[in-house]
Amino acid sequence: MAVTIRQVAEAAGVSIGTASMVLNGKAPRHAERTRRRVLDAAQRLGYRPNSFRWALRTGRFNAVGLLVGTRSGTSTLFDDFWAIQDELRVRDQHLIVASIPDDQLTDPRRLPRIFREWSVDGLLIKYSSHLPPRMVELVRESGMPAVWLNSRQPADCVFPDDLNASREAARRLLALGHRRVGYLAFVTEGHYSTHDRARGCQEVWREAGLTPCVAAVDSLSHMTLPATDRGELARQLLAGPDRVTAVVAYEADEALSAYQTALQLGLRVPQDLSIVTFSPRPVVLGDFVVATWVIPFFEVGKTAARLLLERIARPETPPSPPRPIPLELTGSGSLGPAPQG
């Protein structure tokens, strides 16, 4: 038989009202000693709240849905997933994760029903690239509080600030004296970062009066580009008398290709070539750590979860402006002053 609040109250030596307030997290006026006594009694007796009764009484499920896509590369979860779980756990919220095919994400009849059947109070959406047509509009029309992760939207979104990280990367290379600079990318569409990282460094270089070299390809993913083509793109930047002395690489794959091509051409890193890249983890090549702007997925997940809970608690508030999260530079083994000559 399920343990009741009355039994918890009797075991803790408090009134039923006090036990109810404590167990429902609404007891700020009660002494910590009383609160601890109630919680200890509940744990000792094996008390479990009746979620169905709670939902009927409050209209809340104390649950958040995490929506991801089914297509490869659209919804990759990193440390943001663990951050979301941590943030919800300390607030006594549950997380429900579901992957939904694109055809259902764009069905105006199916999507609202899915949201209702989930029994959640709000949505975290990790659908970062190649969003299905009308998906954003249908989510907004559903009326469900929602926050987007790693996706640049007009409002209610949290994402890594790739644009300013790329600008700062370019400034650091300028400060080291580099004037023949390049950008290397094996993917140029699908995710906002493909545009922001290219745009940020090139804007800074052009403002300094430089003409950056760009080696990029229209590709949906790194995996679709053969290794020989990757090496050829890197060679466009690194071969010849007017080769670049510094490269901003879109991701770790590009940094590795630049490094391998440099070795093939007899160039040393960082004496002859400096490399900067972006990655969820510091990139290690050979015996050094590449200058890596680390993508703050944990902070993105934590911030998104907090923002969503705020939206759930105060649904009448206006949409929140986009929240870019700064990247931090780790490692300097691939950075050096521009070579003379």
User: Which has the minimum average pLDDT: 9-13, 159-163, 196-200, 317-321?
Assistant: 9-13
- pLDDT cut 90: percent of the chain above it: 50
CATH T-level assignment (fold) for domain 63-159+299-325: Rossmann fold (3.40.50)
pLDDT (tens digit, 9 = 90+) per residue, 248-286?
A: 999 999 999 999 999 999 999 999 999 999 999 999 988
The pLDDT score that the predictor gives to residue 157 is: 96
Q: CA torsion sign, 61 to 63 to 64 to 68? A: negative
Domain spans, the chain: 5-49, 63-159+299-325, 162-295
Residue 266 DSSP label: T
pLDDT (tens digit, 9 = 90+) per residue, 193-238?
A: 999 999 999 999 999 999 998 887 654 444 456 667 888 889 999 9
Q: Can you give the three-state secondary structure of 182-242, one letter per residue?
A: EEEECCCCCCHHHHHHHHHHHHHHHHCCCCCEEEECCCCCHHHCCHHHHHHHHHHHHCCCC
Residues 105-118 as b or e (16 or more Cβ within 10 Å = b): bbbeeebbebbeeb
The pLDDT score that the predictor gives to residue 52 is: 45
**Residue 42: both structure tokens together:** 């509940």
What are the Cα distances from residue 177, in Å, to 58, 122, 247? Answer: 62, 50, 13
Q: SS3 for 82?
A: helix
Q: Is 329 exposed, middle or buried (0-12, 13-18, 19+ CB in 10 A)?
A: middle
Q: What's the average model confidence in pLDDT over 60-71?
A: 81
Q: What's the average model confidence in pLDDT over 109-127?
A: 80
Q: Which helix or strand (DSSP H or E) is residue 10 part of?
A: helix 5-12
Please indicate whether residue 11 or residue 222 has the higher confidence score (pLDDT): 11
CATH T-level assignment (fold) for domain 162-295: Rossmann fold (3.40.50)
Q: Of 3-12, 112-121, 209-218, 238-247, where does the model show the most confidence?
A: 238-247
Answer yes or no: is pLDDT of 27 > 60.
no
Instruction: Write down the residue that tokens 């090496």 correspond to.
Output: 231
The pLDDT score that the predictor gives to residue 265 is: 96
Q: What is the pTM of this model?
A: 0.80
- Dihedrals φ, ψ of 274, to 5°? -100, 145
pLDDT (tens digit, 9 = 90+) per residue, 222-231?
A: 445 666 788 8
